[in-house]
Amino acid sequence: MTDSVVTAVRGPVLEVVLDRPKANAIDAATSRELSAVFAAFLDDDDLRVAIFTGAGDRFFSAGWDLKAAAAGEDYEADYGPGGFGGFAELLDRHKPVIGAVNGMAVGGGFEIALAADLVVAADHARFWLPEAGLGIIPDAGAVRLPRMLPPVIANEVLWAGRRLDAAEAQRWGLVNSVVAGADLMEEARALARRAAEAAPLAVAAVMEIGVRTGHLGLAEAFRRLRSGEMARYETMLASEDAQEGPRAFTEGRPPRWSGR
């Protein structure tokens, strides 16, 4: 890794820190590096959860590096297979990513937080999308926010300049919990430990179901669920872990997940 992307492993949890002073902005090269980090995370059977955060306490990420843009980097540059920020477009991910928002999440930084499966935020964090005022749009934000917020609120954030503080983001369901900045990583790590205690194949199945049925009506969603078309769901049903869970419960001991 370069100095811009710092990783650490704590048991089954990968911690990824974006460290690009002063605002943790992301150019194409850094995004490709993050994509490689998250690809390796998905391929490592010993890792179950990732935490993504920014260095310092002011910026989670200011999004696209406008200095790189001014130097000629194209808006549609190659950001890597995971999309901008490394994982936002890995729609078939089978492991959760926790966003630990340590400060301002601006533009693409906000979009990275929106792509996370769980989000904890420092109480001084702020979220906004300035792209429309720069003559462009937040691609991922334009796709995700209308699915997550009431339309009038999404529109106000997307193109009318509305900024959300951490408490408001939590009220709208964009953030799981808000804590003091000094407690952010402790809260994210506690959440990661709880997520890592779940059976990995069960987590993968739930994530697959969300992606494959979230846009469907209930009847069609259940038809798709029972169709045999969802590989991770079918793998979970036939797994050793599906037998281990009930066995551990009846024996009064913690389950020993094998991921098989």
Please state the φ and ψ torsions of residue 56, each to the nearest 5 degrees. 80, -170
111: annotated active-site residue: yes
Q: How far apart are the first and last CA of the chain?
A: 31
Tokens of 185: 């990583």
Q: Catalytic residue among 15, 33, 111, 208, which? A: 111
Other Cβ atoms within 10 Å of 165 Cβ, number = 16
Q: From CA 168, how far away is CA 81, in angstroms rounded?
A: 32
The radius of gyration of the chain from alpha carbons, rounded to an integer in Å, stands at 19
Residues 6+ apart with CB under 8 A from 6: 16, 17, 19, 55
β strands within 69-209, DSSP E: 97-101, 104-106, 118-122, 126-128, 164-165, 177-179
> DSSP letters of 164-202?
EEHHHHHHTTS-SEEE-GGGHHHHHHHHHHHHHHS-HHH
Residues 6+ apart with CB under 8 A from 56: 21, 24, 102, 103
Other Cβ atoms within 10 Å of 159 Cβ, number = 15
Q: Catalytic residue among 131, 197, 208, 244, which? A: 131
Please state the φ and ψ torsions of residue 185, each to the nearest 5 degrees. -70, -35
131: annotated active-site residue: yes
Q: Which residues belong to the active site?
A: 111, 131
